[in-house]
């Protein structure tokens, strides 16, 4: 048989979500209250033209709305088909095949995969004992791209400004700061994104409740934005997705803020109840909580039997096995707590 596959792709797995059905899915950190009403209305009002015609090539109206939201100029914004797309394009735009991409461990599971599909070599540096970035070891990799995530997925903890600034100052190439969960806590690093070597990414998939529309964005200097647009190409945001995202940014900021507030309250309460049951959940600034477990298989079986899906993580550096549990309306968290009873 002729080899048609690209070198290095043989051992990259196709992303798979857990096969088992669950009635309560707390596994993927989306907004569990559902879509914001203005997005639903925008979808129902979709004009035939936005289906039969190409959308604007580089979505100027969406970039204007995102820029206003982020407090930067439209020239500092690039949108993508989810922030995954922005991250993937940045790897293509700012590193050559064979270059190193440095990331903390544990961190966002897609990053080593995007690195490898772009021909880069992912080098994972364990977080420090305080779950902050290990600045010296990360800088010592001389990576062409350094990836940071704050609040970090899956730990939920934030990186310190001191660590982030030292990495930005000392890095050999682009620094990506993934802030997919910034609405739920921790500091915004958007101020660093104007420096010309930093890309901050954010998404409409989590706090904004639009995971299905696939809209994410990056914030950076005009040169960074231009590089990503080249790697990305035109027409990446569908017309209906652009309309939905603009509607939410214009009309549903208070809907988003209310659910963020409720998420934070439920997160505090959920962690407190877990602790009372004997678990030791990590502190979280995100819309999920990481719960180390020593009997992962038994605990997840109980959750599955109760129809509850969570994200199982194995042998995380410095943490061990753990469950990442998304935070939603309290009646869902109660069901999760009931299923966990007696398993700590």
Ligand X SMILES: *Cc1c(COP(=O)(O)O)cnc(C)c1O
Residue with tokens 């035109």: 234
> Binding to ligand X by residue 284, rule CB under 6 A?
no
> Binding to ligand X by residue 211, rule CB under 6 A?
yes
Binding span for ligand X by CB under 6 A among 61-69, 76-84, 93-101, 244-252: 76-84
Residue nearest to ligand X (CB): 82
Identity of the residue, 197 or 202, whose beta carbon is nearer to ligand X in the bound complex = 202
Query: Between the CA of residue 195 and those of 69, 172, 175, what are the distances in Å?
Result: 20, 14, 10
- C-alpha distance across the termini of the chain, in Å: 52
Residue with tokens 């949108």: 79
DSSP 284: -
User: Binding ligand X by CB under 6 A: which of 156, 216, 218, 227?
Assistant: 216
Identity of the residue, 237 or 299, whose beta carbon is nearer to ligand X in the bound complex = 237
> Binding to ligand X by residue 321, rule CB under 6 A?
no
Identity of the residue, 138 or 149, whose beta carbon is nearer to ligand X in the bound complex = 149
Q: Shortest gap between Cβ of 288 and ligand X (angstroms)? A: 9
DSSP 22: -
Q: Shortest gap between Cβ of 154 and ligand X (angstroms)? A: 8
Query: Between the CA of residue 82 and those of 46, 116, 201, 207, 285, what are the distances in Å?
Result: 20, 19, 10, 13, 21
Identity of the residue, 106 or 339, whose beta carbon is nearer to ligand X in the bound complex = 106
> Binding to ligand X by residue 242, rule CB under 6 A?
no
User: Binding ligand X by CB under 6 A: which of 35, 36, 55, 82?
Assistant: 82
DSSP 196: S
User: Binding ligand X by CB under 6 A: which of 35, 38, 69, 84?
Assistant: 84
Q: Shortest gap between Cβ of 341 and ligand X (angstroms)? A: 28
Q: Please work out the total of residues on this chain that contact ligand X, with binding judged by CB under 6 A.
A: 14
Q: Shortest gap between Cβ of 211 and ligand X (angstroms)? A: 6
Supply the angle between the helices 37-44 and 239-251 in degrees, to the nearest 10. 140
Contact status, residue 59 vs residue 74, Cβ threshold 8 Å: no
The rounded distance, in Å, linking the Cα atoms of 91 and 178 is 13
User: Parallel, antiparallel, or unpaired: how do β-strands 288-292 and 311-316 relate?
Assistant: unpaired
Contact status, residue 232 vs residue 97, Cβ threshold 8 Å: no
- Tell me which residues in 15-44 interact with ligand X (CB under 6 A): 29
Of 159, 139, 140, nearest to 149 (Cα)?
159
Binding span for ligand X by CB under 6 A among 124-132, 203-211, 230-238, 274-282: 203-211
Q: Shortest gap between Cβ of 344 and ligand X (angstroms)? A: 26
User: Binding ligand X by CB under 6 A: which of 94, 108, 114, 279?
Assistant: 108
Identity of the residue, 210 or 340, whose beta carbon is nearer to ligand X in the bound complex = 210
The rounded distance, in Å, linking the Cα atoms of 236 and 328 is 30
> Binding to ligand X by residue 180, rule CB under 6 A?
yes
User: Binding ligand X by CB under 6 A: which of 118, 155, 203, 263?
Assistant: 203
User: Parallel, antiparallel, or unpaired: how do β-strands 24-25 and 308-309 relate?
Assistant: parallel
Q: Shortest gap between Cβ of 172 and ligand X (angstroms)? A: 23
The rounded distance, in Å, linking the Cα atoms of 130 and 154 is 15
Task: List interacting residues with ligand X (CB under 6 A).
Answer: 29, 82-84, 108, 149, 153, 178, 180, 203, 205-206, 211, 216
């Amino acid at each position: 048989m002729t080899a048609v596959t690209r070198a290095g792709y043989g051992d990259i797995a196709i992303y798979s979500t857990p096969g088992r059905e669950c009635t309560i899915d707390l596994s993927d950190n989306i907004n569990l209250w559902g879509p914001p009403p203005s997005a639903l209305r925008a979808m129902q009002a979709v004009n035939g033209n936005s289906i039969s015609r190409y959308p604007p090539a580089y979505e100027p109206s969406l970039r204007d709305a995102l820029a206003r939201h982020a407090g930067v100029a439209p020239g500092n914004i690039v949108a993508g088909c989810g922030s995954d797309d922005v991250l993937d394009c940045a790897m293509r735009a700012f590193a050559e095949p064979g270059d190193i991409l440095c990331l903390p461990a544990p961190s966002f599971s897609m990053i080593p995969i995007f690195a490898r599909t772009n021909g880069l070599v992912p080098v994972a540096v364990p977080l420090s004992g305080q779950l902050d970035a290990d600045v010296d070891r990360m800088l010592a990799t001389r990576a062409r791209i350094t990836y940071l995530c704050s609040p970090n997925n899956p730990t939920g903890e934030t990186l310190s400004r001191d660590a982030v600034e030292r990495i930005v100052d000392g890095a050999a190439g682009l620094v990506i700061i993934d802030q997919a969960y910034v609405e739920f806590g921790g500091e915004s690093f958007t101020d660093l994104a104007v420096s010309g070597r930093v890309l901050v990414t954010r998404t409409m998939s989590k706090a904004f409740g639009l995971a299905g529309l696939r809209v994410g964005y990056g914030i950076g200097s005009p040169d960074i934005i231009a590089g990503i647009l080249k790697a990305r190409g035109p027409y990446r945001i569908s017309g209906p997705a652009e309309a939905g995202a603009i509607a939410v940014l214009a009309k549903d900021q208070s809907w988003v803020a209310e659910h963020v507030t409720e998420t934070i309250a439920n997160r505090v309460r959920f962690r407190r109840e877990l602790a009372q049951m004997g678990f030791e959940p990590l502190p979280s600034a995100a819309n999920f909580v990481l719960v180390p477990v020593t009997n992962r298989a038994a605990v997840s079986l109980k959750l599955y039997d109760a129809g509850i899906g969570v994200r199982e993580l194995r042998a995380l550096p410095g943490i061990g096995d753990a469950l990442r549990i998304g935070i939603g309306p309290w009646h869902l968290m109660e069901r999760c707590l009931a299923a966990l009873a007696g398993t700590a």
